[in-house]
Amino acid sequence: MTGSNQTTTQTSDLLLRALVELRDTFAATQEQLSADSLDDFSRLFEGGRRLETMLARAAADIDNHDLMNIFAAIRGYAELLQEDLGEQQVQLSDSLARLLQALQSAQPGSGKPRDSGDKRVIESEPGYILAVDDLKENRELVARNLSRIGHFVVTAASGEEALRALEQSDVDVVLLDLLMPGMDGREVLRRIKEHPDWRATPVIVISGQQDMDGIIECIEAGADDYLFKPFNQVLLQARIKAGIERKRWHDREEQYRQQLERNEKFIRATFGRYLSDEIVTDILERPEGLELGGDLRRVTIMMSDIRGFTTLSEHLAPAQVVTLLNRYLGAMTDIIMAHQGTIDEFIGDAILAVFGAPQHRDDDADRAVSCALEMQAAMAHINEVNAAEGLPVIKTGIALNTGDVIAGNIGSERRSKYGFVGHAMNVTSRIEDLTAGGGILVSDSTLKSLKGDFQVGDCQELKVKGIEESIVVHQILGSAP
Amino acid sequence: MTNLAPVLLVEDNELNRDMLVRRLNRAGIEVIVAGDGQQALDAMVSAQPRVVLMDMNLPVLDGWTACRRAREDQRISHIPIIALTAHAMESDRLNALQAGCDDYATKPVDFPGLLIKIEKLTRA
């Protein structure tokens, strides 16, 4: 050591200052320390005194070997104390860290910083680390090193133990020794990468320098990183940090994906009761479609209700009314959806459905008529069940009309629904008023839209309030013979 | 099979020697000490340590010479020696290895690294 050198003088000063600071911190906290630590400190300070005496001498009189040994001893005690005190004595640990840093830069005989003495600490988000090694010393070394910088470390002494630890907790990074008796590292790695829940957990494999082939094999088998033994502590911290970041990234992605899935499930469950799968899918794929506004579409409108339901319900208990309605509406909903109709709303016992929106098909009118026929056919079974439960027999009338409506999200920002407005809606409602129980009435425009053959019955003329001309309606008796 | 014999630490600087003894003890390793090269050879014969940690700059008999003599002595030639070399100089390490040391650690030693070296040499 060349004491006359300006830089060296500065670093020696730094070192001496660090020692003074440590003494002060120690004086303030020594009551809290164990006998072992007190002993370590007294030896460390003894080294400090010798160092001070030595540095006070002329540069030429300094014995490099002695100086190096004093440095080594002080450093050794400082490291030992730092390990023992850890986070319980934050102030002392900080002072020790500064002393170690000063030692590092003042170290005689080392022009460049040495790898193994590197006291840099890699800042990292704290993680849950599983260290797998059959050697106790190695496990403890890793645990000390990583817990010192805030990670939570669990250790496993064998492959079997490692798998148990993985089952019990959500591990962020696995540090895996390859060479172990029993289940070795390769097998542990294979099982981790095969497990659906563990697959994304980064694995850092550790092996001796001579086992390059083993490392390559592991990287191919899904290992994320590797370290050669004996490994540099800072490098370990850096790789752990990278591993944690990778895991966190994956976790966030997974969370986001699950959130999306939940949202989609919620939307499907909520709207699926009223809308066919297609509309829900359409909404999910084009959320901008939920904006208010709509477009003019030619659709076939269906309105149906139970004849005399209001009177009927007056003689029933509320629970019976609900049973009756749910049974009826449930069956009708299934049939309408099977025909790709869009149920716009239920009003009491009345159903308003539309064929042709949001998606137009060439057979909208045909499907609507087939749907109506099937709905009427289903009434027999519903009434059978009703009768068995002592509920009254019900009859439904169905009206169909084809015309232009505005389809879209109608309402206010707070409350809007996919709905339909237009004169054709009112016309349908008038036709519905005319429909007898068990019957199906379709407007002339629907009849003209039909492509398939149906059994058509009587026609009649209908005066509609608010419009000049009367409309012609036809009875549908069945599908083509 | 783990060798449970003590570790022999050869170091003339008592400050550094005490520190290493304490750290090794704290790590659960039993240590015996010697202050010079000749004492080291005597202790190797009598105590049959599982590994020797030997400073190279020693009085009476320096570490390199002690190491060469240990390798020529059948009673102790099998005992692994880790040289504690003073400087981070390549020539020091090479000299130590040429003298028959099995491994080396540069002072001030990286303690966790030293534990691994001890473990490695005393395993199997």
- DSSP letters along A80-124, please? HHHHHHGGGGHHHHHHHHHHHHHHHHH-TT-SS--STT-------
A276 lies in some domain: no
With CB atoms and an 8 Å threshold, state whether A75 touches B108: yes
A163 lies in some domain: yes
- Facing residues of A371 across strands? none
A46 touches chain B (CB under 8 A): yes
A260 lies in some domain: no
Which is it for strands A203-208 and A173-177: parallel, antiparallel or unpaired? parallel
Distance from CA of A141 to the nearest CA of B (A): 6
Residue with tokens 């390793």: B29
Both A435 and A346 in a single domain?
Answer: yes
Give the amino acid at A58.
A
* Higher-confidence position of B76 and A216: B76
Model confidence at A420: pLDDT above 80: yes
Model confidence at B21: pLDDT above 90: yes
In B, minimum Cα distance to A138 occurs at B116
Which is it for strands A342-347 and A350-355: parallel, antiparallel or unpaired? antiparallel
A264 lies in some domain: no
> What's the half-sphere exposure (Cβ side, CA atoms, 13 Å) at A114?
20
Residue A78 CB: number of other CB atoms within 10 A?
27
| Domain B7-122 indexed as CATH 3.40.50.2300 | yes
Q: Is the peptide bond before A181 cis (omega within 30 degrees of 0)?
A: no
Instruction: Report in angstroms the alpha-carbon separations of A188 from A284, A429, A481.
Output: 41, 70, 70
**B15, B23, B116 member nearest A80 (Cβ):** B23
Hey, which of A460-464, A468-472, B5-9, B120-124 has the most confident mean pLDDT?
A: B5-9
> For a pLDDT cut of 70, what percent of chain A falls above it?
86
* pLDDT given for residue A1 in this prediction: 41
Distance from CA of B28 to the nearest CA of A (A): 10
In a mutational test of the B interface, the residue from A38, A133, A137, A233 whose CB has the highest number of chain B CBs within 10 Å is A137
When the pLDDT of each residue in chain A is averaged and rounded to a whole number, the result is 82
Distance from CA of B63 to the nearest CA of A (A): 14
With CB atoms and an 8 Å threshold, state whether B26 touches A80: yes
Which is it for strands B31-34 and B7-10: parallel, antiparallel or unpaired? parallel
Contacts of A46 in chain B (CB under 8 A): 15
The helix (H) or strand (E) run that includes residue B34 is strand B31-34
Both A214 and A351 in a single domain?
Answer: no
pTM summary value = 0.40
Contacts of A47 in chain B (CB under 8 A): 15, 19
Return d(Cα A189, Cα A222) in angstroms, integer: 8
* Higher-confidence position of A210 and B12: B12
Return d(Cα B38, Cα A455) in angstroms, integer: 120
Q: Provide the residue count of chain B.
A: 124
Model confidence at A272: pLDDT above 70: no
Q: Which own/partner contact pairs does A111-118 have at CB distance under 8 Å and 24+ positions apart?
A: A114/B88, A114/B106, A115/A232, A116/A232, A116/A233, A116/B106, A116/B110, A116/B113, A117/B108, A117/B110, A118/A232, A118/A233, A118/A234
> For a pLDDT cut of 90, what percent of chain A falls above it?
24
Residue with tokens 């099995």: B102
ipTM over 0.85: no
Residue A4 CB: number of other CB atoms within 10 A?
10
A457 lies in some domain: yes
Both A89 and A237 in a single domain?
Answer: no
Return d(Cα A298, Cα A362) in angstroms, integer: 11
Q: For residue A225, give the CATH number of its domain.
A: 3.40.50.2300
- DSSP letters along A200-214, please? TS-EEEEEETT-HHH
Both A426 and A345 in a single domain?
Answer: yes
- Residue A379's contacts (CB-CB under 8 Å, 6 or more residues apart) are A394, A395, A396, A438
Both A403 and A434 in a single domain?
Answer: yes
Question: Beta-strand (E) ranges in A349-453?
Answer: 350-355, 396-411, 416-421, 440-443
Read off the DSSP letter of residue A320: H
pLDDT band per the 50, 70, 90 thresholds, residue A176: very high
Q: In the predicted model, what is the mean pLDDT of residues A82-101?
A: 82
With CB atoms and an 8 Å threshold, state whether A70 touches B18: no
pLDDT band per the 50, 70, 90 thresholds, residue B33: very high
* pLDDT given for residue B10 in this prediction: 95
Map residue A403 onto helix, strand or coil: strand
With CB atoms and an 8 Å threshold, state whether A43 touches B117: no
Both A323 and A426 in a single domain?
Answer: yes
Of A101-110, A213-222, A296-305, A470-479, the one with minimum mean pLDDT is A101-110
Domain ranges for chain B: 7-122
- Facing residues of A152 across strands? A128
Return d(Cα A103, Cα A92) in angstroms, integer: 16
Q: For residue A13, what are the domain limits?
A: 6-106
With CB atoms and an 8 Å threshold, state whether A141 touches B112: yes
pLDDT digits (tens, 9 = 90+) for A116-132: 444 566 677 788 899 99
Distance from CA of A230 to the nearest CA of B (A): 7
Burial class (CB in 10 A: 0-12, 13-18, 19+), A328: buried
CB A186 within 8 A of CB A217: yes
In A, minimum Cα distance to B20 occurs at A76
Of A270-274, A279-283, A356-360, A446-450, the one with minimum mean pLDDT is A270-274
**B18, B108, B112 member nearest A43 (Cβ):** B18
Residue A63 CB: number of other CB atoms within 10 A?
12
| Angle ∠(A49,A52,A58) on CA atoms, nearest 5 | 145
pLDDT digits (tens, 9 = 90+) for A307-351: 888 888 888 888 889 899 999 999 999 999 899 898 888 888 899
Q: In the predicted model, what is the mean pLDDT of residues A248-268?
A: 82
Both A187 and A313 in a single domain?
Answer: no
With CB atoms and an 8 Å threshold, state whether B15 touches A40: no
Distance from CA of A61 to the nearest CA of B (A): 18
- Among chain B, residues having any CB pair with chain A shorter than 8 Å are 13, 15-16, 18-20, 22-23, 26-27, 57, 86-89, 106-113, 115-117, 119
A209 touches chain B (CB under 8 A): no
Model confidence at A364: pLDDT above 80: yes
**Per-residue tokens: A410:** 């109608």
Map residue A162 onto helix, strand or coil: helix
Distance from CA of A73 to the nearest CA of B (A): 4
pLDDT band per the 50, 70, 90 thresholds, residue A148: confident
Both A311 and A211 in a single domain?
Answer: no
Return d(Cα B22, Cα A163) in angstroms, integer: 36
A222 lies in some domain: yes
Contacts of B115 in chain A (CB under 8 A): 137, 141
A298 touches chain B (CB under 8 A): no
User: With helix as H, strand as E and coil as C, how does A176-234 read?
Assistant: EECCCCCCCHHHHHHHHHHCCCCCCCCEEEEEECCCHHHHHHHHHCCCCEEEEECCCHH
A79 touches chain B (CB under 8 A): yes
Give the amino acid at A450.
L
CA A64 to chain centre: 60
Both A147 and A233 in a single domain?
Answer: yes
A115 lies in some domain: no
Query: A43, A315, A109: which is closest to B16 by C-alpha?
Result: A43
CB A343 within 8 A of CB A418: no
* Higher-confidence position of A292 and A311: A311
CB A198 within 8 A of CB A166: yes
Both A362 and A309 in a single domain?
Answer: yes
A94 lies in some domain: yes
Query: A323, A317, A310: which is closest to A349 by C-alpha?
Result: A310
With CB atoms and an 8 Å threshold, state whether B108 touches A107: yes
| Domains in chain A, number | 3
In a mutational test of the A interface, the residue from B16, B26, B55 whose CB has the highest number of chain A CBs within 10 Å is B16
Distance from CA of A181 to the nearest CA of B (A): 13
